[in-house]
Amino acid sequence: MKKPFVHLRLAASLGCLLPLAVLSSENRDRPSVARPNVLFIAMDDLNNWIGCMGGHPQTITPNLDRLAQSGVLFANAHCPAPACNPSRSAIMTGLSPHRSGLYENAQKMREVMPDADLLPRYFRNHGYWAGGSGKILHYFIDAHSWDEYHPAKESENPFPRTLYPDTRPLSLPRGGPWQYVETDWGPLDATDEEYGGDWLVSKYIGEQLSRKRDKPFFLACGIYRPHEPWFVPAKYFEPFPLEDIQLPPGYLENDLDDVPPSGQRMGPNRYFAHIQKHGQWKQGIQGYLASIHFADAMLGRVLDALENSPNKDNTIVVLWSDHGWHLGEKEHWQKYTAWRATTHVPLMIRVPAGASPGLPSGTQAGSVCDQPVSLISLYPTLTELAGLPAKADNSGPSLLPLLKDADADWKHVAITYLNRPGSVGVSGKDWRYIHYANGDEELYSIKADPYEWKNLATLPEYAEKLATFRARVPKEFAPLVKAKVTSLNKLRWVAANGTPTPPSKPDGGTFNVHFINRRENPVELFWMDAEGKPVERGTIAAGKTNAQRTKPGEVWQISARNGKPLGHFVVSDRESQAVIPAD
């Protein structure tokens, strides 16, 4: 059923789509039958702050709105996980975290799922050309899954050149080694072309769309903004004067008073307190809105290229975001939580009439679906729309019934998996439930309380509702598969130069650092205390590894057996490897 949008700032629709010959169901799997193209668009860290979803009143997203108006907007879509790697890996493999064991960013997809067929590979195996540009997976390309990529797939670096300020940080001082270096924002004196980044991605995608190929294509477009850092050309900041910036509608002071201990620990983080301390809250919101505005403009370039291409009438368009983003809601900044601010994401699908064997009539323009859906469903949905054989191990159901009728009966919930097995957020049509691995619970009526301000889990009158949602939590979870040491972030080796090794300045939680001795002789390991005095922590034999619990900002000195310092490492904000170079 066609429903009204919640936002009035809507651009005109993309225009009438010319129908192709309707394909009979009995011909769906014959090689001679034409297959639809797929334009697969990902936006990074985009929450519901877009016009057609009404997440923030000041956002400017005419192109997101026009795409939604031309197809089906899933207004109750949720990510498989509230972090880039597990969410994107689940979407691209069709396997949910609780089945794969991939729950967090530190893991490596190919270590956890070495044989999984990614979406582009599956389409290639069934006669498609597969290409892409920008971030689709978590900071790698997976070259063997694609025919072509920009930058070159062999580089395994999905990012084209991007302009950043010469001096950083620009706006937000670093609070310490615990802080992600990219948490910063500000306008750049540059044109879109000079900026590069997503402009170059949209240029490459537009060029591919303009070609008429002898094969159907699966074309992936990874728009990186509004991922941090929020540096974009100044013209995208101009519509958002700082004095007019409105705080997030979902922010409520003391919002965590009624959540259980697990939520109390999940909510407040150092980022939000640090941003407030330096008076940068509104500036951060301004940077996020500007980055969304820029990302929307790059989307507009892609949509215009498709509209002016020979492929416009037989190309399925899918747009999604890997997860949302907190900007102070629940006293939190960033992602990683099970609250709706992180799990609720844009999802739009447009199928031209006559293009899809699975949906010959196409999607109804302007449809809005309120049923709870997960992005884990994209894999089975696209293969069914293309008339390809179903992949047997997909974790989610196809969305085809909802593409046919946005009000169709739907028995499913959308589950978002946190970074440890057993902790999930469960989204229903009008309710949300959060279950932590230790048994802590939260329950919210989204119809009455869209920002999840009142936790109902402890009230006896909601016991039946709680029981209903508890039953939807998976009974079994695959264990978390730890990343190999050699796959971890590498700390920088600072060779000794005759000056004293600096003291440790610990600031943050503990984790392991793995010291790997590549020298032909044993070395001595020392932890530096706050006065810069070395504290002996043992010997590392040649070719061996020594793991130590440590914190961000701590310094570890490596010395020869005669006591002469060879160099040192400064610990960053995550588990890492520290490779002691060969003699």
Active-site entry in 52, 84, 221, 369:
84
Show the tokens assigned to 58: 């000041």
Report the DSSP beta bridge partners of residue 512: 549
Would you state the torsion angle of the CA atoms of residues 436, 440, 446, 450, taken in this order, to the nearest 10 degrees? -90
Q: Residue 92, CB half-sphere, CA atoms under 13 Å: how many?
A: 33
d(CA 81, CA 274): 26
- Identify whether the C-beta of residue 372 lies closer than 8 Å to the C-beta of residue 428: yes
Burial class (CB in 10 A: 0-12, 13-18, 19+), 231: buried
Query: Which pair of structure tokens corresponds to residue 363?
Result: 């999607």
Element (H, E) at 297: helix 281-307
Question: Is the backbone peptide bond immediately before 268 cis, with ω within 30 degrees of 0?
Answer: no
Cβ(62)–Cβ(11) under 8 Å?
A: yes
SS (H, E, C) 25-79: HHHCCCCCCCCCEEEEEEECCCCCCCHHHCCCCCCCCHHHHHHHHHCEEECCEEC
Single-letter residue type at 189 = D
> What would the DSSP string read from start to end of 420-471?
STT-EEEE-SSEEEEE-TTS-EEEEETTT-TT--S--TT-GGGHHHHHHHHT
363 backbone dihedrals φ, ψ, rounded to 5°: -90, 155
Q: 56, 138, 274, 326: which one is catalytic?
A: 138
Q: What are 510's two structure tokens?
A: 């503990």
Q: How far is CA 255 from CA 252, 260, 277, 414, 454, in A?
A: 5, 12, 19, 24, 8
**Cα-flanking dihedrals φ and ψ of residue 321, to 5°?**
-125, 145
138 is catalytic: yes
Extract long-range pairs of 408-411: CB within 8 Å, 24+ residues apart.
408/371, 410/371, 410/372
Strands 367-369 and 373-374 come out as unpaired
Using CA atoms, how far apart are residues 79 and 88, in angstroms rounded to an integer?
9
Active site residues: 84, 138
